Amino acid sequence: MNERGIILGIETSCDETAAAVVRQGREMLSSVVASQIEVHRKFGGVVPEIASRRHVEAILTVIDEALGQAGIALEDVDAVAVTYGPGLVGALLVGLSAAKGISYALGKPLVCVNHIEGHIYANFLAHPDLDPPVLCLTVSGGHTELIAMRDHGCYEVLGRTRDDAAGEAFDKVARVMGLPYPGGPALEQLAKSGNANLISFPRTEVEDSPLDFSFSGLKTAVINYIHSARQRGEKISYPDVAAGFQKAAIDELVTRVHRAAASVGTRTIGVSGGVAANQALRGALTALALKSALEVHYPPLSLCTDNAAMIASAGYFRHRAGEVSPLSTNAEPGAVLTSLQHCSGQARGSRIHRVPVEID
- Check whether 98 has a pLDDT greater than 80: yes
Handedness of CA 127, 85, 94, 55 (dihedral sign): negative
One domain, residues 68 and 11: yes
- Check whether 77 has a pLDDT greater than 60: yes
**pLDDT on residue 207:** 85
One domain, residues 107 and 157: no
**pLDDT on residue 279:** 98
**pLDDT on residue 348:** 32
Q: How many CB atoms are located within 10 Å of the residue 325 CB?
A: 23
How many domains is the chain built from?
2
Q: What is the rounded CA–CA span in Å between residue 171 and residue 177? A: 10
One domain, residues 311 and 254: no
Write the pLDDT tens digit of every residue in 151-184: 999 999 999 999 999 999 999 999 999 999 999 9
Q: Which residues of 168-201 are buried (b: 16+ CB within 10 A; e: fewer)?
A: bbbbbbbbbbebebbbbbbbbebbeebebeebeb
Find the DSSP H helices in the chain: 37-41, 48-70, 89-106, 115-126, 166-176, 183-191, 216-231, 238-264, 279-292, 301-304, 309-320, 343-348
- Is 192 among the domain residues? yes
Q: How many CB atoms are located within 10 Å of the residue 86 CB?
A: 21
One domain, residues 143 and 155: yes
Domain that includes residue 113, residue range: 6-127+303-338
- Is 52 among the domain residues? yes
Q: Which of 48, 35, 15, 87 is nearest to 302 (CA)?
A: 35
- Is 99 among the domain residues? yes
State the pLDDT confidence band at 235, using cuts at 50, 70 and 90.
very high
- Please report the DSSP string for 72-96 in residue order: --GGG-SEEEEEEESS-HHHHHHHH
Q: What is the rounded CA–CA span in Å between residue 94 and residue 82? A: 10
State the pLDDT confidence band at 354, using cuts at 50, 70 and 90.
very low
- Check whether 2 has a pLDDT greater than 80: no
pTM above 0.85, yes or no: yes
Write the pLDDT tens digit of every residue in 270-297: 999 999 999 999 999 999 999 999 999 9
Q: What is the rounded CA–CA span in Å between residue 58 and residue 76? A: 22
Interhelix angle 279-292/183-191, nearest 10 degrees: 70
State the pLDDT confidence band at 342, using cuts at 50, 70 and 90.
confident
* Burial of 48 (C-beta count, 10 Å sphere; 0-12/13-18/19+): middle
- Is 166 among the domain residues? yes
Q: What is the mean pLDDT of residues 118-129?
A: 97
Find the DSSP H helices in 107-192: 115-126, 166-176, 183-191
Q: What is the mean pLDDT of residues 128-148?
A: 96
One domain, residues 144 and 287: yes
Q: The domain spanning residue 20 has which CATH number?
A: 3.30.420.40
One domain, residues 187 and 97: no
